[in-house]
């Protein structure tokens, strides 16, 4: 079975990791959000691409989910001593990624080519693609005005109340090389449990049409997100955060929806969206959970 997965940061990367453990490299392509990308300290940083790659490569910090395991912080602490910004925690190994990506971009290489080379260097055999090789910037409209994504997410720690989102550059952004083919060749598209508003919507706006079976795994369990501000965003936008809200979020493209046991009471309402449902344990703390959920998802797709 050929799968194309759509993923953002930490939560999405975990399911992508589970899928990569089961599917052969030629049967899984992961398309990653680049709306979180930004320039910082003179470097071009791609947090979600790096989170997915580090996770697939077994290089990710298991506590945070982002950045590298066994990291040191000498560079950023010396930047801070010099009066530079240290709010975005860049580890020494991680900085190598940003330096080399920035050098290659300046030489005119594409983000998809750079990602391909980095995956090779990190021993990752599955295909990881940025959603686009053109810049897209998620802007968060809030009660403190419009904020760039990392300013909102890290610097302001998601405190501002969101009013809406804008994906600057998305209209002009073509899908990256290989994205259309990955969708066309897939038996199904899996939307990983990432933030629907700021991790998955940018990808869907770049891809536009998906005429394939689409399955989404809810990032909200029991009305809460495991990590990140998705539930808070739903609330601030006047929507009760729940698995049902996520199913409604994707209803125009959904074929199947995976919700947690904790939300089984919502199953009928989700079925009423003309969506098939799978109820299972969607928490992914360890690699065994990731592969178990990935197996459940693949089995479920087989039944769609």
Asked if 130 interacts with ligand FO1 (CB under 6 A), we say no
Q: What is the dihedral of CA 97, 98, 99, 102, to 10 degrees?
A: 120
Asked if 48 interacts with ligand FO1 (CB under 6 A), we say yes
What is d(CA 130, CA 140) in angstroms, rounded to the nearest whole number? 21
What is d(CA 158, CA 149) in angstroms, rounded to the nearest whole number? 9
63-82 positions binding ligand FO1, by CB under 6 A: 66-67
Question: Sign of the CA dihedral 288, 290, 291, 296?
Answer: positive
Which residue has the closest beta carbon to ligand FO1? 9
Instruction: Please spell the DSSP secondary structure of 134-202, one letter per residue.
Output: S--EEEEEEBTEEEEHHIIIIISTT-SPEEEEEEETTTTPPBPTTHHHHHHH-SEEEE-SS-IIIIIHH
Find the binder of ligand FO1 among 32, 34, 43, 47 (CB under 6 A): 47
What is the total count of residues that contact ligand FO1 (CB under 6 A)? 17
10-29 positions binding ligand FO1, by CB under 6 A: 10
Asked if 219 interacts with ligand FO1 (CB under 6 A), we say no
Q: Which range binds ligand FO1 by CB under 6 A, 87-95, 250-258, 261-269, 277-285?
A: 87-95
What is d(CA 47, CA 36) in angstroms, rounded to the nearest whole number? 6
Find the binder of ligand FO1 among 19, 20, 94, 270 (CB under 6 A): 94
Find the binder of ligand FO1 among 154, 237, 239, 287 (CB under 6 A): 154
Asked if 90 interacts with ligand FO1 (CB under 6 A), we say yes
- Describe the strand order of the beta sheet including 276-280 as a list of residue ranges: 127-130, 28-32, 3-7, 188-191, 214-217, 256-260, 276-280
Q: For ligand FO1, which is the closer residue by CB, 140 or 179?
A: 140
Find the binder of ligand FO1 among 72, 77, 89, 271 (CB under 6 A): 89
Asked if 122 interacts with ligand FO1 (CB under 6 A), we say no
Shortest reach from residue 288's CB to ligand FO1, in Å:
23
Q: For ligand FO1, which is the closer residue by CB, 57 or 256?
A: 57
Which single residue is written with the structure tokens 């490569």? 57
Residues contacting residue 176 through CB under 8 Å, at least 6 positions apart: 110, 111, 112, 129, 130, 131, 132, 133
Q: For ligand FO1, which is the closer residue by CB, 158 or 262?
A: 158
Six-digit token string for 46: 């791609």
Shortest reach from residue 44's CB to ligand FO1, in Å:
12
Binding-site ranges for ligand FO1 (CB under 6 A): 8-10, 36, 47-48, 50-51, 66-67, 88-90, 94, 150, 153-154
């Amino acid at each position: 079975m050929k799968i194309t997965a759509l993923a953002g940061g930490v939560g999405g990367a975990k399911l992508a990791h589970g899928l990569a453990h089961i599917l052969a490299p030629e049967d899984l392509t992961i398309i990653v959000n680049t709306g979180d990308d930004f320039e910082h300290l003179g470097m071009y940083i791609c947090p979600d691409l790096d989170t997915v790659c580090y996770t697939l490569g077994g290089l990710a910090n298991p506590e945070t989910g982002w950045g590298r395991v066994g990291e040191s912080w000498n560079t950023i602490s010396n930047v801070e001593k010099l009066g530079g910004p240290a709010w975005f925690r860049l580890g020494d190994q991680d900085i190598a990624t940003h330096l080399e990506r920035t050098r290659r971009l300046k030489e005119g290489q594409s983000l998809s080519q750079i990602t391909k080379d980095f995956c090779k260097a990190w021993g990752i055999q599955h295909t990881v693609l940025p959603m686009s090789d053109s810049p897209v910037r998620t802007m968060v409209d809030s009660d403190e005005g419009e904020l760039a994504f990392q300013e909102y997410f890290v610097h302001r720690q998601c405190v501002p109340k969101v009013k809406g989102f804008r994906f600057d550059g998305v209209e002009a952004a073509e899908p990256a090389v290989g994205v259309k083919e990955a969708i066309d060749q897939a038996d199904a598209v899996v939307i990983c449990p990432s933030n629907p508003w700021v991790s998955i919507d940018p990808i869907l706006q770049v891809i536009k049409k998906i005429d394939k079976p689409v399955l989404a795994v809810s990032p909200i369990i029991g009305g809460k997100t495991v990590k990140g501000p998705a539930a808070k965003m739903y609330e601030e936008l006047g929507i009760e955060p729940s698995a049902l809200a996520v199913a409604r979020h994707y209803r125009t493209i959904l074929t199947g929806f995976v919700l947690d046991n904790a939300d089984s009471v919502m199953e009928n309402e989700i079925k009423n969206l003309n969506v098939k449902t799978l109820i299972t344990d969607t928490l992914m703390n360890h690699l065994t959970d990731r592969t178990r959920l990935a197996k459940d998802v693949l089995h479920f797709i087989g039944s769609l």
